[in-house]
Structure 1
Amino acid sequence: MTTTTTIVEQLADFTQRSAYDTLPAAVVDECKRIVLDSLGCALAAVDQPKGKIGIDYGAWMGGVAGDATIIGTDQRVSVVGAAFANGELINALDMDAVVPPGHVTPYVLPGALAIGESLGSSGQDLIAALAISHEMSYRLGKAMDYLRDTKDGKVSPPKIYGYSSTVFGATAAIARLKGSGAETIAHALGIAGSISPVNSQVAWFQHAPSSTIKYLLAGALTQAAMAAAHMAELGHRGDFQILDDREYGFPRFIGTTRWEPERILSALGHDWQFPAEQAYKPYPHCRILHALLDSLNEIVDQNELRPDEIDGIKVWVEGFVEQPVWLNREIRHVHDAQFSIAHGIALGAHRVPPGKAWQDPELVFGESVMRLMDKVEHAVHPDYVALLTGHAASRPARIEVAARGQTFVGERRYPKGSPSPDPASYMSTQELVEKFRDNARDVIPEANIARVIDAVLDLENVENIASVMADVRPGKR
């Protein structure tokens, strides 16, 4: 390639030239944190319905003698089977990391892990691929409609939304690990845009009890990225103009009304932007409830409140959640519990430490939780728009708990896990380590847990990431 004129070509050039030794230390550190958190989320989900289905389908499509690991199992299957299963596992509990446009990691990491393991890639190679995929996904997300849009001082969420744009970052990560040249990468990105899944997330918001596909089946997008990267390598041509053509290209057919390509390209490769908004989730529940749960935990712990002492709970939430998936009180499946406002607050009042235990069916469907759910009511936070426009990390939340003839009040602007002006909201690497330990416990041996933590936190010195993937299998080496 002698010129880099289209957006696709410039993204391909960025992908090829962003080697590990060009990355700022903060980017390297964030990539390691993402890997550790994601492996833990996947391990925690091996016995969850969505996780088990992902494992079964990944094994079915991936054969029995492959060279890529399904996390939390002793199965090594093809790269396509492992990528599908691991995407589903990472996202099953809804406690995986988030960065604009939303859940990025379960779409972009699984293909890179599978390809990297099969090729014997180094930790530095994986870090570079992960940095590229997250930066690209973040920039595309910022160029498009926002889920938490406001207009004229009011909540104004888009009518079409989703994470389909992560297909570009997912494809770039695979192509980077395979050592593809810039022209092949450009073709791969052009193909990826043409075969990306549709943005069906808003339909999912509107239909409750909800589909367990959620906002976008992670496994399906990993397959689109795999196909795009390999088809380009085999000789297929991609559409280099697909991101430049607003009238007929990706912005049009994927449904965004905002398209700001300068957000994609400005200082690309020099100004790494995603770490500033990379957030982590202590709770296996939609991020909209986390600040409320932080306050609720503080109230019930400090006052040692029992669920049967609580007469009522009122919460004030973000404005865009006035939609069926969050308003739902008909909990048929553990995944319904990951989004219901009333159920999440009721469960949080039971003083169960945040983590995978929150998805235990005995707790989710327990009589005490279901009874308390009927005592939960909500309203939109009156300052939601003002606080959100003041800082993007804002998740304004207020809670009032009526118990023992008193009203206990809590208020938060930033939930735990978000980088924000409040240092207390940042989730430290040590806190992520403890989250990983909890998620991995009883899934892989304790010795494996320790080795994974040590290896991932020193990922830049790992010669072959297959050694890390061997330790996320239950059997001992």
Structure 2
Amino acid sequence: MPATIVEQLAHFTTDTQFDRIPPAVVEECKRILLDSIGCAVAAIGEPKGRIGIDYARAMGGNGNATIMGTGEKASIFGAAFANGELINALDMDAVVPPGHVTPYVLPGALAVAEARGAPGTALVEAMALSHEMSYRLGKAMDYLRDTRDGKVSPPPVYGYSSTVFGATAAIVKLKALPPAVLPNALGIAGSISPVNSQVAWFQHAPSSTIKYLLAGALTQAAMTAAHMAEFGHRGDIQILDDREYGFPRFIGTRRWEPGHITAGLGVDWRFPTEQAYKPYPHCRILHALLDSLTEIVEENDIAPAEIDGIKAWVEGFVEQPVWLNREIAHVHDAQFSIAHGLALGAHRIPPGKGWQDPDLVFGESVMNLMCKVTHEVHPNYVELLSGHAASRPAKIEIQARGKTFVGERRYPKGSPSPESSSLMTNDELAAKFRRNAEGVLCSARTDDVIDTVFHLEKLGDVAALMRMIGPNDERAAGQAR
């Protein structure tokens, strides 16, 4: 009988070896890792980050895996939970279809790699296969930016639950379990994946701070699947082949095109073509607008008090409560509101954890300017989106000093696109990391983390890297090399 999709994914996992991974994929994994560490350490004082840390502590016991930014050790289960929440807390982490992937697939791999003393090459293998697997599953299913008959067609059920397969595969890979364990682990993962509740989150504002999917919860499902298979549970290896009763049906996707999962698997690495990075701690839908707004206010030295109005043309699928919300009741709400995000961006605060400062988020100047923001759907959204996957067409007009200042973008900063300037370079990612690490890591330690990650293939033990990602301590700088 032909191999099931689960069996093919298991074979891909086993067959992924560092020396067979294209250099461009290795480089992308390093970039994702550095960006994720920076997002995590920046969030240790943020509400969502603190709650993740507190829950890891509540899970009990000392362990041999690090909660990033704290220097605290927890079990692999606790560290994975906390680190998933930390990476996603500011909503500044990298994105690739189906959306946020890294907060779900990296934390378990990182915890197991540290606990087992795995080399950097093993972590690259786990990151590469988990991101590739998640991307391919995302391409096989409904997507938020799908169009139909020339109009946006957002799915009625959506979410990132399919990342549980990549997250589980990465854990099993790093635990070096027998190949026979893998199909069972993936089958179990599909059966216990969290529900796709993201569309409910879109519709209910002010929104739940769980967001689209609690990162910590998915890391635990992946950990459970990997360990249950290790201990002898049998998984459903037909779960991705059965459209009528299997994963496609119960996870809620209307579209199921499994060829995207298996075609060229292990030969054609696809996720780097759409891997994007976020300069701003705000939903990606606003980034092209923020790029234009920032350029206008900085080049013309426009103060918030001088602005009489801001009008934006936005992506078509965002006409939903979570983005339309103007009731900013929690700093979390500021990560998604169109009106608030543009009002805050006009204040020219360097992007980072400062955007979540309650004095700024709820400040009179931001709240007053928010009332002057209007928007409508970009008229050429569907046409431009169809032309290139990185398209996020945006136009903005700022009324100030009796003039109208206009800015337009098709590709936001951080995306690979036909415009080379939109790509975030390694130097730019390092600069973002330095901003995020301020106040947590000393400058020497920050430099060590950057250097170690960009030379990850030379790292003999991931635990050495994790020892650097703690509170300021000059003595620890350089310890990993």
TM-score of the pair, normalised by structure 2: 0.98
1:473 aligns with 2:443: no
Give the 5 Å matches for 1:30-49. Answer: 30-49=28-47
Return the offset for 1:322.
0.1
Q: Of the candidates 196, 200, 203, which is equivalent to residue 200 of structure 2?
A: 203
Please tell me whether the aligned partners of residues 82 and 216 of structure 2 are also in contact (alpha carbons under 8 angstroms).
Answer: yes
- Distance in 1 between residues matched to 2:372 and 2:299, nearest whole Å: 21
- Distance in 1 between residues matched to 2:311 and 2:4, nearest whole Å: 51
Return the offset for 1:446.
1.9
How many positions carry a matched residue from both structures? 474
Q: Of the candidates 88, 93, 101, which is equivalent to residue 104 of structure 1?
A: 101
Deviations 1:194-234 (CA, angstroms, capped at 9, x unpaired): 00000000000000000000000000000000000011010
- Distance in 2 between residues matched to 1:15 and 1:4, nearest whole Å: 18
Q: Tell me the equivalent position of 2:144.
A: 147
State the AA in 2 paired with 1:80.
F
Deviations 1:92-143 (CA, angstroms, capped at 9, x unpaired): 0000000000000000000000000000000000000000000000000000
What percent identity do the matched residue pairs reach? 73
- Distance in 1 between residues matched to 2:242 and 2:397, nearest whole Å: 50
Return the offset for 1:472.
0.3
Return the offset for 1:4.
6.2
Q: Tell me the equivalent position of 1:113.
A: 110
Return the offset for 1:237.
0.3
1:358 aligns with 2:355: yes
Q: Tell me the equivalent position of 1:256.
A: 253
1:122 aligns with 2:122: no
Give the 5 Å matches for 1:47-126. Answer: 47-63=45-61, 65-126=62-123
Secondary structure, aligned partner of 1:304: coil
Secondary structure, aligned partner of 2:392: coil
- Distance in 1 between residues matched to 2:147 and 2:172, nearest whole Å: 37
Return the offset for 1:361.
1.2
Q: Tell me the equivalent position of 1:419.
A: 416
Q: Which runs of 5+ in 1 are unaligned?
A: none
Give the 5 Å matches for 1:236-247. Answer: 236-247=233-244
Q: Tell me the equivalent position of 2:325.
A: 328
State the AA in 1 paired with 2:122.
D
Q: Is the alpha carbon distance of 1:107 and 1:17 closer, same or farther for their aligned partners in structure 2, counting shifts above 3 Å? A: same
State the AA in 2 paired with 1:147.
L
Return the offset for 1:382.
0.1
Q: Is the alpha carbon distance of 1:356 and 1:475 closer, same or farther for their aligned partners in structure 2, counting shifts above 3 Å? A: closer
- Distance in 2 between residues matched to 1:151 and 1:461, nearest whole Å: 48
State the AA in 2 paired with 1:27.
V
1:173 aligns with 2:165: no
- Distance in 2 between residues matched to 1:169 and 1:100, nearest whole Å: 13
Secondary structure, aligned partner of 1:279: coil
Q: Of the candidates 371, 376, 397, which is equivalent to residue 394 of structure 2?
A: 397
State the AA in 2 paired with 1:360.
D
Please tell me whether the aligned partners of residues 440 and 472 of structure 2 are also in contact (alpha carbons under 8 angstroms).
Answer: no
Return the offset for 1:187.
0.4
- Distance in 1 between residues matched to 2:283 and 2:351, nearest whole Å: 13
Return the offset for 1:362.
1.0
State the AA in 2 paired with 1:269.
G
Deviations 1:310-338 (CA, angstroms, capped at 9, x unpaired): 00000000000000000000001111000
Q: Tell me the equivalent position of 2:315.
A: 318
1:234 aligns with 2:222: no
Return the offset for 1:397.
0.3
Deviations 1:282-323 (CA, angstroms, capped at 9, x unpaired): 000000000000000000001000111000000000000000
Please tell me whether the aligned partners of residues 281 and 353 of structure 2 are also in contact (alpha carbons under 8 angstroms).
Answer: yes
Q: Tell me the equivalent position of 2:306.
A: 309
Q: Tell me the equivalent position of 2:271.
A: 274
1:454 aligns with 2:451: yes
Deviations 1:358-405 (CA, angstroms, capped at 9, x unpaired): 111111111000000000000000000000011111001000000000
1:430 aligns with 2:427: yes
Secondary structure, aligned partner of 2:331: coil
Q: Tell me the equivalent position of 1:265.
A: 262
- Distance in 1 between residues matched to 2:160 and 2:267, nearest whole Å: 25
- Distance in 2 between residues matched to 1:380 and 1:48, nearest whole Å: 32
Return the offset for 1:155.
0.9
Secondary structure, aligned partner of 1:335: helix
- Distance in 2 between residues matched to 1:203 and 1:185, nearest whole Å: 33
Q: Tell me the equivalent position of 2:479.
A: none
- Distance in 2 between residues matched to 1:10 and 1:286, nearest whole Å: 34
Q: Tell me the equivalent position of 1:339.
A: 336
- Distance in 2 between residues matched to 1:465 and 1:400, nearest whole Å: 48
Q: Which runs of 5+ in 2 are unaligned?
A: 477-481
Please tell me whether the aligned partners of residues 74 and 475 of structure 1 are also in contact (alpha carbons under 8 angstroms).
Answer: no
Return the offset for 1:74.
2.2
State the AA in 2 paired with 1:368.
S
Return the offset for 1:475.
5.3
Q: Tell me the equivalent position of 2:284.
A: 287
Please tell me whether the aligned partners of residues 118 and 466 of structure 1 are also in contact (alpha carbons under 8 angstroms).
Answer: yes
Deviations 1:427-455 (CA, angstroms, capped at 9, x unpaired): 00110000000001101222211111110
Please tell me whether the aligned partners of residues 240 and 246 of structure 2 are also in contact (alpha carbons under 8 angstroms).
Answer: yes
> What is the root-mean-square deviation of aligned Cα atoms in Å?
0.8
Return the offset for 1:354.
1.8
State the AA in 1 paired with 2:234.
R
Please tell me whether the aligned partners of residues 59 and 75 of structure 1 are also in contact (alpha carbons under 8 angstroms).
Answer: no
1:162 aligns with 2:138: no
State the AA in 2 paired with 1:44.
A
- Distance in 2 between residues matched to 1:384 and 1:475, nearest whole Å: 46
Q: Tell me the equivalent position of 1:23.
A: 21
Secondary structure, aligned partner of 1:98: coil
TM-score of the pair, normalised by structure 1: 0.99
- Distance in 1 between residues matched to 2:119 and 2:227, nearest whole Å: 21
Secondary structure, aligned partner of 1:410: strand
Return the offset for 1:352.
1.1
Return the offset for 1:474.
1.1
State the AA in 1 paired with 2:310.
I
Secondary structure, aligned partner of 2:59: helix
Q: Of the candidates 216, 219, 226, which is equivalent to residue 219 of structure 1?
A: 216
- Distance in 1 between residues matched to 2:177 and 2:263, nearest whole Å: 24
